[in-house]
């Protein structure tokens, strides 16, 4: 079905292009734009058989031209005599192109241009010979035909190169977008793995306490049911721990290891973050401008961790800006010489943080994100994760300033020694 559609598009475009032409040698012999369109279609639709395509085009284009001439002149016979020889041109063009280029396994632009020149010149020569006899096609006529063919072939080649360049650009942009999304996804998974590893430590503690309780109950006079229950709890917790380990190993071995990048410049990291943030803003259907101002550039080895820190703070900022408000989120970076650290400052003009919540915003489970429609509440690990990563992974600090209904400002201070100069 796809090939049929492409063939019909080619035949239609060539038929329309046949109306843009100049007369050469005689009033009935024309040099039309249709040949340029036909050559381009042969290149951009490589799966189409040139012979079949030339037969379809060789019928449609002359017939369309014949109708146009008949409408203008009112003489059907003269119109047919002028238009129908074009059939010879397209048939010859398709056959020559089929054997010289389509069947050749070593296709390249040089061969394509050479084939176009030969197809154009020889097909025009065949059409002239059909109209006026073989003797009419002398060296002078052939020379003119080859000159016209080379000019048209150059035009076709330039357009095809431009189309290929455009396709390559689109493909490159698509790959870059996928890469950026993959990087963000990896940072999210990396954060989840970090929390799961912390969870394993807590699970081990629960398992030890349950097993200790089992032994203590063994020495005391407790009902057998409680004695058995404590052992079952210890076993179940152990199975949960094994499940966590399997998930972590699966993520690290099958996903994170495949896209592990040893280092990334801060500018590239922020560029990836920008792409993700713009997508999040669109999804939430908010009018928010995300601005970045970087005064420094350096290499980040733990880029997944830094991405998680910045992304979580920015997501909180997006959620803090009411849907009806014109929002602004700004990420700034500069070197704090006094603290010997890099200062990542993220500011938003959202609803701010209540004073009574300031002391608990980093507490596990704290969240202000409650959906009244569904009753769902955010699990509240974003800022907990941020503080944990800043302090334990980078040995840094985080400071928050806020004003109700005006702004919230996060300053993440990370020692310069954690990064490499670019």
| Tens of pLDDT, residues 387-414 | 888 998 899 999 999 888 888 999 999 9
- The answer to whether 349 touches 327, Cβ cutoff 8 Å, is yes
Q: For residues 39 and 152, is the Cβ–Cβ distance under 8 A?
A: yes
DSSP 151-197: HHHHHHHHHHHHHHHHHHHHHHHHHHHHHHHHHHHHHHHHHHHHHHH
Cα separations (Å) of 106 from 76, 101, 109, 152, 154?
A: 46, 9, 10, 23, 20
Q: How much is the pLDDT for 375?
A: 46
**Which residue shows structure tokens 């938003």?**
348
Contacts (Cβ under 8 Å, ≥6 apart) of 366: 357, 360, 380, 383, 384
Segment among 169-173, 183-187, 347-351, 375-379 with least mean pLDDT: 375-379
Residue 206 has pLDDT above 80, yes or no: no
272 and 306 Cβ atoms separated by less than 8 Å = no
Across the chain, what does the average pLDDT equal? 80
pLDDT digits 0-9 by tens, 58-90: 888 878 878 877 887 777 777 777 777 788 888
pLDDT at 380 over 50: no
Give the pLDDT confidence of 209-227 residue by residue, as tens digits: 777 777 777 666 777 777 6
Given a contact cutoff of 8 angstroms between Cβ atoms, the answer to whether 330 and 311 are in contact is no
- Residues 312, 309: Cα–Cα separation, whole Å: 6
CA distance 277 to 368: 20
Conformation bin of residue 340: beta by default, left when phi > 0, alpha when psi is -120 to 50:
left
Statement: residue 325 has pLDDT above 90: no
Q: In the structure encoding, which two tokens stand for residue 75, read together? A: 């003489």
């Amino acid at each position: 079905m796809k090939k049929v559609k492409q063939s019909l598009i080619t035949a239609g475009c060539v038929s329309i292009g046949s109306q843009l032409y100049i007369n050469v040698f005689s009033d009935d012999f024309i040099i039309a734009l249709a040949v340029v369109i036909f050559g381009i279609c042969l290149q951009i639709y490589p799966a189409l058989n040139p012979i079949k395509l030339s037969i379809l085009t060789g019928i449609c284009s002359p017939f369309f031209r014949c109708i146009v001439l008949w409408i203008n002149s009112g003489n059907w016979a003269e119109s047919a005599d002028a238009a129908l020889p074009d059939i010879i041109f397209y048939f010859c063009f398709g056959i020559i192109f089929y054997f010289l280029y389509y069947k050749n396994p070593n296709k390249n632009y040089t061969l394509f241009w050479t084939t176009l020149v030969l197809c154009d010149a020889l097909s025009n020569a065949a059409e002239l010979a059909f109209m006026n006899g073989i003797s009419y096609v002398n060296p002078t006529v052939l020379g003119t035909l080859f000159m016209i063919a080379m000019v048209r072939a150059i035009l076709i080649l330039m357009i095809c190169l431009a189309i290929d360049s455009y396709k390559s650009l689109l493909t490159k942009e698509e790959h870059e977008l996928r890469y950026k999304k993959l990087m963000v996804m990896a940072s999210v998974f990396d954060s989840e793995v970090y929390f799961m590893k912390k969870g394993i430590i807590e699970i081990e503690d629960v398992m030890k306490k349950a097993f200790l309780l089992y032994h203590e109950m063994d020495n005391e006079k407790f009902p057998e049911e409680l004695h058995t229950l404590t052992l079952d709890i210890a076993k179940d917790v152990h199975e949960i721990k094994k499940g966590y380990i399997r998930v972590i190993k699966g993520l690290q071995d099958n996903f994170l290891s495949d896209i592990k990048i040893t280092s990334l410049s801060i500018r590239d990291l922020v560029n990836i973050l920008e792409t993700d943030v713009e997508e999040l803003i669109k999804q939430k259907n908010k009018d928010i401008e995300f601005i970045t101002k970087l005064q420094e550039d350096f290499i980040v080895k733990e880029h997944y961790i830094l991405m998680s820190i910045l992304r979580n703070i920015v997501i909180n900022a997006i959620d803090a800006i009411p849907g009806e408000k014109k929002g602004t989120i700004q990420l700034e970076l500069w070197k704090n010489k006094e603290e010997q650290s890099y200062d990542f400052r993220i500011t938003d003009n959202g609803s701010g943080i209540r004073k009574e919540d300031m002391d608990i915003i980093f507490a596990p489970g704290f969240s202000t994100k409650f959906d009244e429609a569904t009753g769902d509440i955010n699990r509240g690990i974003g800022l907990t994760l941020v503080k944990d990563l800043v302090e334990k992974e980078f040995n840094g600090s985080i400071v928050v300033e806020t004003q109700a209904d005006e702004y919230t400002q996060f300053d993440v201070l990370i020692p310069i020694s954690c990064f490499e100069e670019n």
